[in-house]
Amino acid sequence: MKQEEAVRIISQSLMKDNRVKAIFLKGSMGRREYDKYSDVDLYCLIDEKDEEAFLDQRLKHLESYRKILFFEDFFIIAPQIAVYDNLLHVDLFTVTEKTFKEKDFFHVLYDPENRLAKFESTQNLLLSKEEFHDFAYDVAWFLFQYHKANQRGNDLWSVEMLQHVMVNLSKVLLHRYKPERAQLGLKALEAFLPAIPLDKLRMIFNYNTPASHNKAVYYLVNLLGDEIDWIESNMEKNAQASAFLRMMIKLHTSSSEGEV
């Protein structure tokens, strides 16, 4: 698989650089859930004093694999983004012990000084209580924004607002059905959501178009009606998100009557 070949060759180049203290994978490769379509999220652990000098050399390490078609120096925890002539996409992230992000699982490729051991216990994709509340609140918020767009007759913006609803709802549902993967959200639904709620979500997505988003909302509020008691049970008493969600369910239930 080209992902494995790229990781092997780039890692060999990185291991020759004395500034590199550890090399590891995150994302789908870090979780060992990757396939032939996966991107590569490759990480280097560097001492702070060496960071600036190392950043100037990242492209050289990436070029050790094969010809790069496109690259970009874009700051998301300081990665070098590369797309190769075989259309493989690699992100080379550079972190220090201070900037190491304590989320998601990682797979160690090189760590002679055992620098990563202290981060092993932080590996998870769970939602905190605060995150769960925020995602549930945003489901209600974007349903509210959808209502206004729909009332204006702005079909394109209505579809966009429903898409935001689904992005947030995906994490809420995974928090219930597969909490250990909840942070992955929308892209993990196919793999981890049970068949019944997944089929309901497919129906919503099928109808979320400029011509039929009213049907999408009909099925969406039915799904939320099935889930609202559980959502409330996982929130603090009198949480704003609960009341807001119930208000939006009621609003859209009444407005969608007779449309499906």
Looking at 122, 151, 170, which one is the last position of a domain? 122
Q: How many domains does one find in the chain? A: 2
Give the domain extent around 100: 2-122
DSSP letters for 5-17: HHHHHHHHHHHT-
Please check whether residues 155 and 171 belong to one and the same domain: yes
Please check whether residues 17 and 97 belong to one and the same domain: yes
Looking at 95, 122, 149, which one is the last position of a domain? 122
Please check whether residues 174 and 139 belong to one and the same domain: yes
Looking at 122, 145, 164, which one is the last position of a domain? 122
For tokens 């929130």, the residue is 235
**What Rg do the C-alpha atoms of the chain give, in angstroms?**
22
Please check whether residues 213 and 104 belong to one and the same domain: no
Cα dist. 192→111, 176, 182, 199 in Å? 32, 11, 9, 12
Please check whether residues 44 and 117 belong to one and the same domain: yes
The per-residue pLDDT of the chain, averaged, comes to 93
Is pLDDT above 70 for 78?
Answer: no
> What pLDDT, on the 0 to 100 scale, is given for residue 26?
96
Please check whether residues 148 and 104 belong to one and the same domain: no
Please check whether residues 116 and 140 belong to one and the same domain: no
Is pLDDT above 80 for 74?
Answer: no
CA 206 to mean position of chain CA atoms = 21
Please check whether residues 26 and 63 belong to one and the same domain: yes
DSSP structure class, residue 174: H
Which of 148, 130, 155, 146 shows the shortest CA–CA distance to 240? 130
Distance CA 121, CA 182 (A): 18
Q: 13-19 long-range contacts, Cβ below 8 Å, gap at least 24?
A: 13/60, 13/61, 13/64, 14/44, 14/61, 14/110, 15/110, 17/54, 17/57, 17/61, 19/46, 19/47, 19/50, 19/53, 19/54
Please check whether residues 7 and 52 belong to one and the same domain: yes
Say which CATH number the domain at 90 has: 3.30.460.10
Is pLDDT above 80 for 255?
Answer: no
What is the percentage of the chain residues whose pLDDT exceeds 90? 85
Residues 187-197: tens digit of each pLDDT: 999 999 999 99
Class of residue 177 by CB neighbours under 10 A (exposed 0-12, middle 13-18, buried 19+): middle
Q: Which whole number is the average pLDDT over 31-56? A: 94
> What pLDDT, on the 0 to 100 scale, is given for residue 79?
64
Three-state DSSP state, 195: helix
Which pTM value belongs to this model?
0.86
Cα dist. 141→134, 147, 163, 258 in Å? 10, 10, 12, 24
Is pLDDT above 70 for 85?
Answer: yes
Please check whether residues 99 and 10 belong to one and the same domain: yes
Please check whether residues 145 and 250 belong to one and the same domain: yes
The encoded tokens of residue 63 equal 């070029």
> What pLDDT, on the 0 to 100 scale, is given for residue 104?
87
Q: Which whole number is the average pLDDT over 30-46? A: 96
Please check whether residues 98 and 133 belong to one and the same domain: no
Q: How confident is the model at residue 238 (pLDDT cuts 50, 70, 90)?
A: confident
Is pLDDT above 80 for 36?
Answer: yes
